[in-house]
A and B are shown apart, each in its own frame.
Chain A
Amino acid sequence: MALAINELCVNCYACEPLCPNSAIYLARPHFRIDPALCTECLGEYDAPQCAEICPIEAAIIDEAGEALNPPGSLTGIPLQALAAAAAALAGTQAHLPVMGQGAGGAP
């Protein structure tokens, strides 16, 4: 049982020092979690520390692929507004994938 960091990660380093198991490491293109070390903070904290501080919605997922912080849950931005922004960005700035994918995955 382990969490994972996906390609939405913006490499802000916030999670890395918080991990009680030192399971998070700097990698390219983004930080990763060593599944052999991750315990999802069970027995250490009420909630997994990486997901508690991560500012990026849907960047940390569990083994089922479910986002611990689903779209809209951290910024409070309504999903329609996120989707509209993603569509606008996809039209003009295809080199900024993070936005598009975050919202594209929204139901």
Chain B
Amino acid sequence: MDLPVLTPSTPAASGGCSSSSCGSSAEQMSHLPEDILRRVQDHPCYSEDAHHHFARMHVAVAPACNIQCNYCNRKYDCANESRPGVVSELLTPDQAVKKTLVVASEIPQMSVLGIAGPGDPLANPERTFETFRKVAEYAPDIKLCVSTNGLSLPSVVDELSQYNIDHVTITINCVDPEIGARIYPWIFWNNRRIRGVEGARILIEQQQKGLEMLVERGVLVKVNSVMIPGVNDVHLKEVSRIVKSKGAFLHNVMPLISEPEHGTFYGLTGQRGPTQDELMALQDACAGDMNMMRHCRQCRADAVGLLGEDRGDEFTLEKIEMMTIDYAAAMKRRAVLRADVLAKLDARRSVKASNGLVSLVPAGAAPAPERQTRPVKIAVATAGGGVINQHFGHAREFLVYEASTEGARFISHRKTDLYCAGGDTCGDGESVLQRTIRALEGCEVVLCSKIGFEPWGQLEAAGIQPNGEHAMEPIEEAVMAVYREMAEAGKLAPREMPLRHSA
């Protein structure tokens, strides 16, 4: 694999992300100017580091859409589903504002409000902007962001920049209309439904124009792309290069979700999604050109909570109507917590920057000759806080780190519930443990706080070593400690051939 080289950091670097201590950020963020780093440091969707400590919420106020995507089915809403674009309850702007204030009071880590659907937020400009305007007024300490397919973007850019929305995500799956026609069957434009290549051409034009206009106005733009094998997988490298050259600060390549039971075009016509390895290979290929994002959870358009969790059920309309809020008091608690977390993160960064964590050789040891040890993928169960603190069986997702002589690098997360918690009534009836083991494909170690006897045996049989010895330790330190143990035990000779025999 072609990895970007992480150079050992200089402690003097003024608080920026200068080592692997920023998790994924080391790679995805290291090229960002300091002012952008400051703007995203408490945004859980942009920084893997922040996501351990800050929460986000989405409010579903935007039901209408102006395009059709082949991975979307507007008819489907299932309580067991956790895909993007799916919601249980549509809110009016006033209900959304109330919900936001309630959640911000109850979950002080909530730093970001996003509007992401379930349709396209900018195809519902009145509802979307009314929500933003009121939240900005009542809760100025909440960051606002919005996702869009980009079709209406140029026409609302000026209004958008009025509401202090400093983060916009545009989903850009292609820059070639021929490829676009295989992703978007139609768009609605100038009072007509326009199909095929012509529709895709207009969409691409508007997306690119919108991107340029936002960058001109100093708005941070992230680009999302859905990786569709055989359709746009190769093409996304060009997309990455182009959106970077136009000033997008982050590119998030996500896997296509296309289960037949979702009733989408891709689901019903047998279009498969990428494997974990295909996804990571593309992310690595794009990383040469672009700051890549690897920790996206593809959450629902009404998700609430830390990434990877959804506490939406605690804040249904019925429940929030019964609640009263003292937002002024909440805002004080939130400010204290925020300052506390940011100070902790800063402290952790500087400790790691100075103690040689990124090195394979423990501090004090004689400098080893350039010993060739291969990189290893290590999965981690965490419930937040940046430490290994989750029981294997309770983990609904695992964070995957790649440990190498360069240090520990966050590379992806793996869901164990595969977007569905419907048990045996839907899906293929595979056991949770089997699904989890499949999700951990390619990892050689899994770190957790505890693990039961049965999963221990099955993981070992699958070539994944469970390890509960690093409970409550900071993730990256534990990952590197395990890597050093493996190196010392001679398990990390460079691979000539696939190393399955050692499992």
Contacts and interface: CB of A to CB of B under 8 A. Distances in A.
B188 A75 contact: no
Interface string A8-30: 00111110001000000000000
A63 to B, nearest CB: 22
Given A56-B74, A99-B263, A13 B68 contact: no
B185 A12 contact: no
Contact of A81 (B66, B90, B193, B268): B268
A26 to B, nearest CB: 11
Interface of A is mostly: loop
A34 B425 CA distance: 41
Contacts of B68: 55, 74-75
Nearest to A69: B193
Contacts of B398: none
B119 A52 contact: no
Interface of B is mostly: loop
A12 B74 CA distance: 8
Contacts of A18: 191
B123 to A, nearest CB: 7
Contact of B188 (A52, A93, A98): A52
Interface in A23-71: 45-47, 49, 52-53, 55-56
A92 B75 contact: no
Contacts of B63: 11-14
A32 to B, nearest CB: 17
Given A55-B74, A92-B426, A12 B64 contact: yes
A55 B64 CA distance: 9
A56 B192 CA distance: 16
A11 B260 CA distance: 24
A75 B67 CA distance: 11
A74 B261 contact: no
A88 interface: yes
Nearest to A53: B188
Contacts of B191: 18, 45-46, 49, 52
A12 B61 CA distance: 10
Given A49-B191, A81-B268, A99 B75 contact: yes
Nearest to B123: A14
Nearest to A84: B268
Interface residues of B, number: 30
A85 B260 CA distance: 8
Given A10-B75, A74-B186, A52 B192 contact: yes
A78 B367 CA distance: 65
Interface in B81-120: 90, 119
B427 to A, nearest CB: 11
B263 A12 contact: no
B185 A75 contact: yes
Contact of B192 (A47, A74, A96): A47
Nearest to B185: A76
B426 A75 contact: no
Given A45-B191, A75-B185, A12 B260 contact: no
B64 to A, nearest CB: 4
Interface of B: 63-66, 68, 70, 73-76, 78, 90, 119, 123-124, 185-186, 188, 191-193, 260-261, 263-265, 268-269, 425-426
Of all A-B residue pairs in the complex, the 6 with the closest CB atoms, nearest first, are: A14-B64, A81-B268, A12-B63, A55-B74, A53-B188, A98-B75
Interface of A: 10-14, 18, 45-47, 49, 52-53, 55-56, 74-78, 81-82, 84-85, 88-89, 92-93, 96, 98-99, 102
28 contacts: A10-B74, A10-B75, A11-B63, A12-B65, A13-B63, A13-B119, A14-B65, A14-B188, A18-B191, A45-B191, A46-B191, A47-B192, A52-B188, A52-B192, A52-B193, A53-B66, A53-B193, A55-B65, A75-B264, A75-B265, A81-B269, A85-B261, A89-B261, A89-B263, A92-B426, A98-B75, A99-B75, A99-B76
